């Protein structure tokens, strides 16, 4: 039960933070991404504020714990190799983010705004995810489960 209430609470706090910070406002996001034009730096404080908490917790807290509070082990990605998929994927993600101004978190949180455009975007986004998943499995049929760690 605690293992379900914790992510519900964390999701709520995360969504609250996204809406408060302006990350669900595409005009603001495009202004932030407009580095080479009329740059609005305010959203830099979102990642800054986030890292202000996660860096000390992940660097100092996690290593001292054998296991998380409500699970038997930490589920960490543990990869360190740089591959073409990571680089191409990140580059494509940036292009899509720059086109519309929505990344996955704010896109899903924006469902709260009961706006049909968000639904169109999400249908397209999930289609893109399934397409990438399908293509990866086609070239590597031995992958049993997808690595959905991040």
Partner 1 sequence: MELHPFLAALIGGLCIGIAASLMMLTIGRVTGITGISFNTVSAPIQNTWSVMFVVGLVGGAALYHFVSGSPVPGLDLPLPLLIAGGITVGFGTKLGRGCTSGHGICGLAFFSNRSIVATSIFMLSAAITVFVTHHLGLS
Contacting partner 1 within 76-105 (CB under 8 A): 76-77, 79-82, 85-100, 102-105
Which residues 15-54 are close enough to bind partner 1 by CB under 8 A? 15-28, 30, 33-37, 41-54
Q: By C-beta, is 134 or 142 nearer to partner 1?
A: 134
Give the contacts of 32 (CB within 8 A, at least 6 positions apart).
Answer: 39, 40, 41, 42, 43, 44
Q: Applying CB under 8 A, does 143 fall inside the site for partner 1?
A: no
Q: By C-beta, is 10 or 142 nearer to partner 1?
A: 10
Burial class (CB in 10 A: 0-12, 13-18, 19+), 41: exposed
Give the contacts of 2 (CB within 8 A, at least 6 positions apart).
Answer: 69, 70
| CA-based max dimension of the chain | 49
Q: Applying CB under 8 A, does 137 fall inside the site for partner 1?
A: no
Q: By C-beta, is 48 or 141 nearer to partner 1?
A: 48
Q: Residue 26 belongs to what H/E stretch?
A: helix 26-33
Q: Which residue has the tokens 């924006």?
A: 110
As measured in angstroms, the least distance from the Cβ of 141 to partner 1 is: 17
Which residues 103-132 are close enough to bind partner 1 by CB under 8 A? 103-105, 107-113, 115, 117-118, 120-132
As measured in angstroms, the least distance from the Cβ of 142 to partner 1 is: 18
Residue from 138, 139, 141, 150 binding partner 1 (CB under 8 A): 150
Contacts for 56-61 with beta carbons within 8 Å, 24 or more apart?
none
């Amino acid at each position: 039960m605690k293992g379900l209430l914790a992510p519900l609470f964390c999701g709520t706090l995360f969504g609250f933070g996204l809406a408060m910070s302006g990350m669900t406002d595409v005009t603001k996001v495009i202004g932030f991404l407009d580095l080479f034009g009329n740059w609005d730096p305010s959203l830099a404080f979102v990642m800054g504020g986030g890292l202000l908490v996660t860096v000390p917790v992940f660097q100092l807290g996690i290593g001292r714990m054998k296991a998380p509070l409500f699970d038997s082990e930490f589920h960490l990605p543990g990869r360190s190799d740089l591959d073409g998929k990571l680089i191409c994927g990140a580059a494509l993600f940036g292009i899509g983010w720059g086109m519309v101004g929505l990344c996955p978190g704010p896109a899903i949180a924006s469902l709260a705004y009961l706006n049909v455009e968000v639904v169109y975007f999400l249908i397209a986004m999930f289609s893109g995810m399934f397409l990438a998943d399908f293509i990866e499995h086609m070239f590597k049929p031995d992958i049993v489960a997808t690595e959905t760690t991040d």
